[in-house]
């Protein structure tokens, strides 16, 4: 098996393998270490001895043996580990049955809910989900969230320790609490996607790898919980946004606005899948927030040119979203859609109303949006003020450069005449 194929196996199978191992070994940390050891062994042995017929079963079996060895070594000093060893050896028979392809479909579901347990801090939930379900390395996750590797490693270790020490159960939540727990899981996936789609810090606006992982997680959830229409909504949302990835950044790494994007660069296959999912999710009345956001993305995706965009529908959808999940950010988005549908003045009024309440005073997009509308109205002085305010608050480099360019354009008008 070529090294690239082993890496693909690692990425795609890590979640399943870890899930099975946790079930067998009853210990998150042990499962993680054992899986790593087994993959390291595979990297050494498979090129020489050839790929086993059932790679996943090989990894699981090898990992289990390594874990038992470790427990044996440590059990002389630790009664708890000795207990674990006895239980593990008892499971030996059951373990072989689990290695086959017909492995229990539940396992990854258990894993997702455990990783996203509310007793863990949200950043720990995100890190653990990416590590155990997507097989991202600690280094990759640290890079994605721009924290030192040691910090991320500690975060993961602490999270696993808490799962064990506090005995966070390794199970799918019971029906009565499943809906709220599922909401937490979807929120984690949404956060991961958000970070990938518009990274809050650093030079790269788009972290394609995070978007891909978020889509993967959303897909797993849809597969494992087909009854969840919000799961479908979230998958649709991520697919539709991610479909625009190649058009959002210019060759020189600059931000390209939606209205300026080369729509031939949009991934049509992904859009098609997203649109079907949106229709599906919207059929299940009442539509949830993810389905609504996906529907908004769908309206954009259906327009072959910016001028064809049905802004009225977008404004209406934001209206529904406001009723479901009222928030000043949603209100701001709606104001922008209204500006496009009913005229800039109308949109500006709505944004002024938000600002008058003192809301979003630290949110760079409030100033960027208002600045943009003022610019369209040729109110140069006020536009410049807003762009400067946005620049004080923006954190991502490509966005900062974009705003700086806008400010320069506006300032040129102030000096009398363009250019």
Partner 1 sequence: MQYMLLIYENEARKLSPAEQGQLMNEYMTFTQDIVKAGKFKAGDPLEPTSTATTVHVRNGKTVTTDGPFAETKEQLGGYYLVEAKDLDEAVAIAARIPAARTGSVEVRPIRKMNM
Q: Residues in the site for partner 1, rule: CB under 8 A? A: 79-80, 117, 119, 165-169, 173
Closer CB to partner 1, 99 or 183, in the complex = 183
Complex with partner 1: residue 80 or 405, whichever CB lies closer: 80
For residue 171, give the DSSP letter.
Answer: S
Report DSSP state, residue 378. Answer: T
Complex with partner 1: residue 89 or 166, whichever CB lies closer? 166
Q: Which residues contact 200 (CB under 8 A, 6 or more apart)?
A: 395, 396
Instruction: Go through the chain and tell me how many residues it has.
Output: 419
Question: In the complex with partner 1, which residue's Cβ is closer, 119 or 150?
Answer: 119
Give me the phi and psi of 172, to 5 degrees please. -75, 130
Query: Residue 78 or 345: which CB sits closer to partner 1?
Result: 78
Using only C-alpha atoms, what is the Rg of the chain?
25
Nearer to partner 1, 83 or 96 (CB): 83
CA–CA separation, 128 and 134 (whole Å) = 9
- Integer Cα distance of 128 and 113 in angstroms: 11
CB atoms within 10 A of CB 237: 31
| DSSP 3-state of 287 | coil
Name residue 255's beta-bridge partners: 249
Shortest Å, Cβ 402 to partner 1: 44
Nearest approach, Cβ of residue 67 and partner 1 (Å): 21
Indicate the angle between helix axes 364-376 and 344-356, nearest 10 degrees: 150
Please state the closest distance from residue 227 (CB atom) to partner 1, in A.
22
Distance, CA of 261 to CA of 259 (rounded, Å)? 6
């Amino acid at each position: 098996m070529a090294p690239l194929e082993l890496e693909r196996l690692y990425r795609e199978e890590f979640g399943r393998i870890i899930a099975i191992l946790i079930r067998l070994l009853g210990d998150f940390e042990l499962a993680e270490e054992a899986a790593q050891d087994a993959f390291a062994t595979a990297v050494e042995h498979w090129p020489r001895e050839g790929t086993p017929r059932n790679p996943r079963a090989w990894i699981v079996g090898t990992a289990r043996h390594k874990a038992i060895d470790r427990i044996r070594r440590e059990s002389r000093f630790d009664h708890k580990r000795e207990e674990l060893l006895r239980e593990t050896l008892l499971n030996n028979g059951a373990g072989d049955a689990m290695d086959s392809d017909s492995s229990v479909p539940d396992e990854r579901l258990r894993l997702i809910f455990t990783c996203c347990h509310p007793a863990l801090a949200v950043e720990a939930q995100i890190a653990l989900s990416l590590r155990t379900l997507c097989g991202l390395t600690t280094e990759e996750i640290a890079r994605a969230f721009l924290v030192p590797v040691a910090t991320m490693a500690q975060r993961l270790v602490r999270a696993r320790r808490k799962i064990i020490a506090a005995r966070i159960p390794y199970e799918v939540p019971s029906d009565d609490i499943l809906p709220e727990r599922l909401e937490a899981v979807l929120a984690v996936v949404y956060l991961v996607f958000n970070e990938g789609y518009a990274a809050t810090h650093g030079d790269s606006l788009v972290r394609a790898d995070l978007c891909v992982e978020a889509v993967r997680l959303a897909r797993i959830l849809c597969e494992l919980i087909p009854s969840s229409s919000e799961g479908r909504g979230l998958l649709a949302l991520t697919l539709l946004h991610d479909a625009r990835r190649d058009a959002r950044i210019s060759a020189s790494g600059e931000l390209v606005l939606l209205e300026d994007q080369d729509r031939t660069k949009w991934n049509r296959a992904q859009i098609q899948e997203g649109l079907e999912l949106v229709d599906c999710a919207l059929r299940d009345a009442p539509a949830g927030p993810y389905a609504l956001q996906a529907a908004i993305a769908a309206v954009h995706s259906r327009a072959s040119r910016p001028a064809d965009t049905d802004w009225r529908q977008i404004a209406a959808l934001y209206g529904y979203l406001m009723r479901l999940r009222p928030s000043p950010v949603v209100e701001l988005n709606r104001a922008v859609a209204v500006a496009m549908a009913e005229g800039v003045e109308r949109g500006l009024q709505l944004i002024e109303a938000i600002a008058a309440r003192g809301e979003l005073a630290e949110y760079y997009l409030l100033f960027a949006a208002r600045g943009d509308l003022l610019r369209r109205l040729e109110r140069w002085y006020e536009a410049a003020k807003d762009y400067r305010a946005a620049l004080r608050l923006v954190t991502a480099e490509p966005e900062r450069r974009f705003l700086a360019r806008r400010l320069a354009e506006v300032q040129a008008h102030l000096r009398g005449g363009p250019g």
